[in-house]
Structure 1
Amino acid sequence: MTIKITPSYKEISDRKVKARDAKFIKEWLAPESILPDSSVKDVTKWIKESGCLNDLELEITEADAPTIIENIKTKKWRAVQVAEAFGKRATLAHQLTNCLTEIFFEEGLQTAKELDEYQDKTGKTKGPLHGLPVSLKDNINVKGHATTIGMVKYCFEPEIMDTDSVIVTLLRNLGAVLYVKTNVPVAMMMPETTNHIWGNTTNPMNRLLSAGGSSGGEAALLKLKGSPIGIGSDIGGSIRIPASFQNLYALRPSFGRFPTYGARSGLPGLESVNSVNGPLSISLESMETYCKAIIGQEPWNHDAKVIQMPWRTVELPEKLNIAVVVDDGWVRPVPPVRRGMNIVINKLKEAGHEVIDWDPEDHLRASQIISGFFLSDGGVHIKEVTEPTGEPFFEYMKGYETATELPVSELWKLQAERTTLMKKFLDRWNATASQTSNNKPIDAIIMPATPFAGSPNAKFRDYVGYTSPFNMTDYAVGILPVTRAVKDLDLKDPESTNHSKTDTTIWEDYDPEEVHGGAVAVQVIGRRFEEEKVIEMLKVISKLLDHSDI
């Protein structure tokens, strides 16, 4: 009799990591002897100062997307040069932060070579993103490569995907070069990027801090300029949290603006709240270039859930009406985040924009509703994927292990409450016209993305109430970098506000020395399908702040 021995989750994970590591190009790896040791927290300047990249490679990887595209078009740079430069820098970024999952550098170089040949033969570029490297969050299916989404069972089931997701098809049509996928937490359902396959992704601004989640690998790679533009996803804050933890620009669009079909979900079939794809970048201009290019491909002809809405030109009023939230009344943000909010408020007022308060009265309930949707299947899908390998639950995922399935009648009630709250948000937004001097409603709400200036690893706790309400309302939201935590400025509050148990725990956790150098960024929240307006507001406010991390 043959006895079948099932490998442990650790054995499966080890095999998968070895398969990935074999795909690194050895000549691109920095020798272990020159890598910064664990005592070096801020590694944002290390690549530039290490000597691992030559002058041309540094010039290429320090450039934004419009510059890269233009220089390839004029043949100042060739697509192969650009692909090699970003492949090398992505390799170094991974060595510093553990940010990559699937690696296909050779495939990217081949694509770049074919693009150069096409340009030489025709005298034209293939599309608006000709030769531009684009990195992808792990959940985005790429033909010929795996999509594990941080779950051990998916390491080799299937071993590779046989089709591209719609967003990948569009990127290929546009002439983009695909070369890496990036790390995520288990099922993409944690606000920190760690799992039992690839391990934890750290924050390059301070490696004692989390990269955030679930697009944490993407954010870490982008912060170290291993990619000019990356694609993440967001169902409760998964673009905005990591972008805010690494002072990146990012966009959480409304559902139906960008294609999502063909990506792997951690909770497939959940449609009470929809996951969306959106861009992250160190450059606002790069982000806008991506948005225009994708919408220009008429994605509504490729994904049945995308609405037919071309990219629009938006003119902002000379003076914006802005509502602000500094503290949502459930978890008070740590001192550097409150300081960052005050910087933004003061700059807006100095420029003549009107600033009023927004009452976050329904934010906690909105967050609870979103959490209810996440757990509504009783954790059945998560358990079905984790149990065959014996993969244990992280503490943050324990709710999926113990949840009970919500009866359909109760789910319907929750969905009805969501819709009622959406209408209440809309009415309250419109009612702000009675509070402004020009009798027009607010253009945006500005508030923190989390209570943290980058949370210490494994200390995010249990609250995403600064982001998830806007998944419920499906509003377009941008992330705006503001400043960094400074230990001598951002001293610990003498007392907790005791808003909640989580609030007190976060106050107890806060250590100015530990978070020194962490990112401080805010959300700029527009209404549904106001992606263009949100980007224009990001431009206006970023000019007022004139901030640079590096």
Structure 2
Amino acid sequence: MTKQSYLDIAKEKRAARDSKFIKEWLLKADQLPGTGVKDVLNWPVSSGFLSAKEIEITESDFPTLAKHIKSKTWTAYDVTSAFCHRASIAHQLVNCLSEVFFEEGLARAKELDDIYARTGELVGAFHGIPISLKDNLNVKGQATTIGFVGFSFNPVEFEEDSCLVSMLRDMGAVFSFKTNVPVAMMMPDSINHIYGETVSPFNRDLSSGGSSGGECALGALLGRIYCGIGSDIGGSLRIPAALQNLFTLRPSSGRFPTLGSRSGLPGLESVASVNGPISTTLSNLELYCKTLVNEGKPWLHDPKCLEIPWRDTELPEKLVFGVLKDDGVVKPYPAISRAIDTTIASLKKAGHEVIEWEPLNHERLTAIVGEFFLSDGGKHCKEYAGLTGEPFFEYMKMYETAKNMGVAELWDLQVERTKLCKEYLERWNSTAYQTSSGRAIDAIIMPVSPYSGVEVGKFCYIGYTAVFNALDWSAGVIPVTRADKAVDVQDKSYTPRNVKDQATYDSFEAEKINGGAAAVQIVCKKLQEEKCVAIMKVVAKLLGTDTYWNKSL
């Protein structure tokens, strides 16, 4: 019997996914915008293929949805149908979905409506609320490929939900699909041999980022209803969220459950992979966090979760920020620098204090995280790719040649990591001697990455995010602006400092990345998720981007 090639298996898997779309929702090629149309952010609403009711539903945030479901103005079925229809259109624009199970989601929504009609009681806080899932989150009855062709039908379906999915399901959330990721979730572009690449709806010539790129490309097209769950081990929530101007939170490990998710690096404990929400609204993001923690009590379900409730936070009237404009390794693109400057100006105008932040140990901590990724000698990734003989993408070639790290060497590396993290904490504490209030800074404002848009295959630096994976600190992203080719011009006098800086500098073309997103990162210390979200709300309101995704209906 002839063994199927990885290309044949991938083709079969795509066909299986595509058969799950609802035919009445699929648009013909001549109904879709042509390849020359780069910015498709408003297309789902302006195209005329969604009804007025579907637009109203998908432009409503979680609190509004909950109110209308409770009052029976909308049914859970109404909401789920609108959500899935808009997601179907989004997929045809940017190729963002991996597993599709619309019918199962609609059936669950109908079941929730029947329960409510029969008992008069809502199932839980998320009754009838649709939540999007990154591909790595196992859903009972569905596959999880995490971008490996060998996992296309291996298994065909999982027998139980991931811990997080189970908790949300018990609270009434509805799941109807999962979103595309790069191979092993270990690339900054969401591309694999099964589904191809997911592109940015801001500019379809650009990458959506990774590894939660499918989530973020989808989210930018779904309206205020959107809240999806991604993961982050080196920047995988923050990088794609920033490339789509979305809100996200990278929590410290132990706040949200990760048990039962599929990983390309199973057993890696030296740097934690965490789950976190991505959304078009801070109201969705905050409600998700508070409800999951306080009502779900994840410490009862995942042994790695800490018994810490979501706490109310009272911020000082005048906040103190450290600002990092350039980490000294890779210089940000002009639109990112403009976003940082705009944020600084807004903070100062409101009376908040701003001081300079030193990028202590950034380069070395990022390198250590990279060494942790390869510490198994690439064994797992090579094994999974070897199931079908699929080749590694260029960004993952190092997994082919990586050497297994001995236990003693790994322990020494962890000791070095902890020493550098202690120095970073001391640097934070020492800012109390620089501020007028005598308090240490409340947060760091800095880039998420050097890029305000980047073509697939040209993203080469994760140092602005990975350092906080090493530290395991809380970090969020808020939108600021968009790249403008007339304003954001390259400094021709700049001399790049290293190979990655040179590659980033060389890949800048104002025309090509025009319209790309420009966001900023807000960093707080370990387990300060509540404070981080509260500060995100303050800064976004000052910038006027707290309503970035609001549309006039």
TM-score normalized by the length of structure 2: 0.98
1:254-307 deviation line (CA, Å, top 9, x unaligned):
000000000001100100001000000011100011111110211100000000
Alpha-carbon distance in 2 for matches of 1:254, 1:55: 40
Equivalent residues, number = 546
Cross-structure match for 1:200 = 197
Residues 343-358 of structure 1 aligned to structure 2 (within 5 Å): 343-358=342-357
Report if the CA contact (8 A) 1:174-1:293 is conserved. no
Please say if 1:372 is aligned against 2:371.
Answer: yes
User: Match of 1:468, SS?
Assistant: helix
Q: 1:292 aligns with which of 290, 293, 298?
A: 290
Q: Which amino acid is the alignment partner of residue 487 of structure 2? A: L
Alpha-carbon distance in 2 for matches of 1:231, 1:250: 9
Residues 79-228 of structure 1 aligned to structure 2 (within 5 Å): 79-225=76-222, 228=226
Alpha-carbon distance in 2 for matches of 1:331, 1:499: 8
Q: Which moved more, 1:540-549 or 1:140-149?
A: 540-549
Q: Which amino acid is the alignment partner of residue 451 of structure 1? A: P
1:163-196 deviation line (CA, Å, top 9, x unaligned):
1100011111110011110000000000110000
Cross-structure match for 2:500 = 502
Report if the CA contact (8 A) 1:497-1:503 is conserved. no
Alpha-carbon distance in 2 for matches of 1:517, 1:67: 31
Report if the CA contact (8 A) 1:259-1:306 is conserved. yes
The offset of 1:508, in angstroms, is 1.3
The offset of 1:408, in angstroms, is 1.2
The offset of 1:361, in angstroms, is 2.5
Residues 49-448 of structure 1 aligned to structure 2 (within 5 Å): 49-225=46-222, 228-296=226-294, 297-448=296-447
Cross-structure match for 1:31 = 28
Q: Which amino acid is the alignment partner of residue 233 of structure 1? A: S
Alpha-carbon distance in 2 for matches of 1:65, 1:353: 31
The offset of 1:31, in angstroms, is 2.2
User: Match of 1:483, SS?
Assistant: strand
Residues 474-485 of structure 1 aligned to structure 2 (within 5 Å): 474-485=472-483
Q: Which amino acid is the alignment partner of residue 375 of structure 2? A: S
1:191-221 deviation line (CA, Å, top 9, x unaligned):
1100000100000011111000000000011
Alpha-carbon distance in 2 for matches of 1:314, 1:499: 41
User: Match of 1:12, SS?
Assistant: helix
Alpha-carbon distance in 1 for matches of 2:507, 2:527: 38
User: Match of 1:480, SS?
Assistant: strand
Q: Which amino acid is the alignment partner of residue 181 of structure 1? A: K
Report if the CA contact (8 A) 1:41-1:204 is conserved. yes
Structure 1: which 5+ runs fail to align? none
Residues 2-41 of structure 1 aligned to structure 2 (within 5 Å): 4-41=1-38
Q: Which amino acid is the alignment partner of residue 82 of structure 1? A: V
1:49-80 deviation line (CA, Å, top 9, x unaligned):
11110000000011111111111111111100
Alpha-carbon distance in 2 for matches of 1:134, 1:441: 37
Alpha-carbon distance in 1 for matches of 2:87, 2:519: 24
User: Match of 2:207, SS?
Assistant: coil
Alpha-carbon distance in 1 for matches of 2:535, 2:366: 26
Alpha-carbon distance in 2 for matches of 1:409, 1:310: 37
User: Match of 2:521, SS?
Assistant: strand
1:487-520 deviation line (CA, Å, top 9, x unaligned):
1000121133312111112111101111111000
1:135-178 deviation line (CA, Å, top 9, x unaligned):
10000000100000000110011111111100011111110011
1:397-444 deviation line (CA, Å, top 9, x unaligned):
011011111111111110001111111111111111001001000000
Q: Which amino acid is the alignment partner of residue 245 of structure 1? A: L
Report if the CA contact (8 A) 1:332-1:497 is conserved. no
User: Match of 2:479, SS?
Assistant: strand
Q: Which amino acid is the alignment partner of residue 6 of structure 1? A: K
Report if the CA contact (8 A) 2:360-2:424 is conserved. no
Alpha-carbon distance in 1 for matches of 2:439, 2:256: 29
Q: Which amino acid is the alignment partner of residue 504 of structure 1? A: Q
The offset of 1:46, in angstroms, is 0.6
User: Match of 1:24, SS?
Assistant: coil
Alpha-carbon distance in 1 for matches of 2:365, 2:489: 31
Q: Which amino acid is the alignment partner of residue 378 of structure 1? A: G
Report if the CA contact (8 A) 1:212-1:454 is conserved. no
Cross-structure match for 2:491 = 493
Report if the CA contact (8 A) 2:483-2:513 is conserved. yes
Q: Which amino acid is the alignment partner of residue 22 of structure 1? A: S
Report if the CA contact (8 A) 1:139-1:265 is conserved. yes
TM-score normalized by the length of structure 1: 0.98
Aligned CA-pair RMSD? 0.9
Alpha-carbon distance in 2 for matches of 1:495, 1:403: 38
Q: Which amino acid is the alignment partner of residue 434 of structure 1? A: Y
Report if the CA contact (8 A) 2:69-2:128 is conserved. yes
Alpha-carbon distance in 1 for matches of 2:157, 2:237: 25
Q: Which amino acid is the alignment partner of residue 498 of structure 2? A: S
